[in-house]
Amino acid sequence: MKPRFFYGWYIVAVGFLANVAAAFSLASTLSVFLKPLTEDLGVSRGVFSLLRSGEGLIAASMAPVIGSLVDRHGARWLMALGAVVVGTGYVLLSQVQAFWQFLLVRWGLVRG
């Protein structure tokens, strides 16, 4: 009898593809606003690009914590809470006046 393919690998594959699709869509949309944002916030494009590096490091360091929370409490409530936090972050992004404010909101609420 041929062993069946473990169903969990389908879940892993779909999760991976969803993460890749989300990462590319977020990265490409921010790049559209790179020039106006850097001009409005008064920073160079290099400094602004460090923001994206920091976001990646924050996401990588938070992954084990979020994973254990999902295992313990389930994804439904964490996703709802995450949507509220990110939505609040986007509202706050519309009010920033300086790069440090933009950085704190992006790292703390939108991607952190």
Decide if 27 is inside a domain: yes
CB 106 within 8 A of CB 89: yes
pLDDT band at 7 (very low <50, low <70, confident <90, very high): confident
CA distances, 109 to each of 16, 31, 83, 92 (Å): 22, 19, 10, 9
Query: Is the residue at 65 inside a domain?
Result: yes
The 10 Å Cβ neighbour count of residue 107 is 16
Is position 1 within any domain? no
Domain that holds residue 73: 7-110
Residue 12 within any structural domain of the chain: yes
Number of domains within the chain: 1
Distance set, CA 23 to CA 16, 71, 74, 76, 98 (Å): 11, 23, 23, 21, 25
Residue 26 lies in a domain: yes
Alpha carbon distances (Å) from 67 to 35, 74, 82, 84, 112 = 35, 10, 13, 19, 14
Question: How much is the pLDDT for 100?
Answer: 93
Tens-digit pLDDT profile for residues 19-54: 887 776 666 677 788 889 899 989 998 888 888 888
Residue 2 falls within a domain, yes or no? no
pLDDT digits (tens, 9 = 90+) for 64-73: 998 899 899 8
Query: What was the pLDDT predicted at 98?
Result: 92
| 83 located within any domain | yes
- pLDDT at site 102: 92
Structure confidence at residue 91 (pLDDT): 94
Residues 6+ apart with CB under 8 A from 45: 34, 35, 38
